[in-house]
Amino acid sequence: MPEVPAPEIPALEVPVLEVRALSKSFGGLRAVKDVSFEVQAGSITALIGPNGAGKTTTFAMLAGFIAPDAGSVRFRGTDVTGWRPHRIAAAGMVRTFQLTQPFAGLSVMENIRVGAFLRTRDPGAAATVARAVGTRLGLGPALDRSAASLTVAGRKRLEVARALATAPSLLLLDEVMAGLNPAEINEMVALIRTVRDGGVTILLIEHVMQAVAALAEQVHVLAEGELIASGPPRAIAADARVIEAYLGRGAAARMARHA
């Protein structure tokens, strides 16, 4: 059967992702308020903030799972606001989910092959892609095992592998470190670097700050739905607004007094 190519999107000298004044409300709760930021091609960028800050809602709007009330999302120079998830994925922007839900009745390779079918309808070609991606992400010995048998760390790798099998140019990672122990976090940090070095731009939501500091060149911070700070990790860690968002009002002044 014929290959299914990705839609043509012009390769312009612009950020790979441009988010402008993105907003979303649920009833009386304004979950995301006029959020704007950019992601440069070839970078690892982090979106952080306390629980309930609006990070996952922002991701859902970027990937087409939720329609924004206002604002725009431009991917590689094209306005993709309001596109459905499958169309955005076909264009090259793919997300993972914090709660991993593999197809438990399928093998690890069959799970990865699901992602590969976005680009080809040929089962053999999809299997070749799945095996290559799975091996690259350290899942080679488990490819023929049931996905249900994987550990938490294995399921996290599988989630990334299934997304990578779609051949994205921008990968949105939603808390891939959650539930991992320190050794597994270090392994995931190395894996994410490998993915980026392979030509995939990465935007990640993460609560593990050691991973953010190790990976991200640029960090954007949300609090109560608003973007309160942007900059490199070192500057963000010293920003009084960020400290107070995480630790409460007056925390920055208290920390300064005790420094």
Domains, the chain, in order of start with CATH, read 17-102+167-258 (3.40.50.300)
Tell whether the model's pLDDT for residue 141 goes beyond 70.
yes
Interval 169-179 mean pLDDT: 94
Tell whether the model's pLDDT for residue 178 goes beyond 80.
yes
Interval 72-95 mean pLDDT: 96
Tell whether the model's pLDDT for residue 208 goes beyond 50.
yes
pTM: 0.88
User: 56: Cβ–Cβ under 8 A, 6 or more apart, which residues?
Assistant: 98, 174, 205
pLDDT digits (tens, 9 = 90+) for 212-225: 999 999 999 999 99
Q: How confident is the model at residue 5 (pLDDT cuts 50, 70, 90)?
A: low
Tell whether the model's pLDDT for residue 254 goes beyond 70.
no
Q: How confident is the model at residue 40 (pLDDT cuts 50, 70, 90)?
A: very high
The fraction of the chain above a pLDDT of 90, given in percent, is 76
Q: How confident is the model at residue 13 (pLDDT cuts 50, 70, 90)?
A: low
Q: How confident is the model at residue 104 (pLDDT cuts 50, 70, 90)?
A: confident
Q: What mean pLDDT is reported for the chain? A: 90
Q: How confident is the model at residue 1 (pLDDT cuts 50, 70, 90)?
A: very low
Tell whether the model's pLDDT for residue 16 goes beyond 60.
yes
Structure confidence at residue 245 (pLDDT): 85
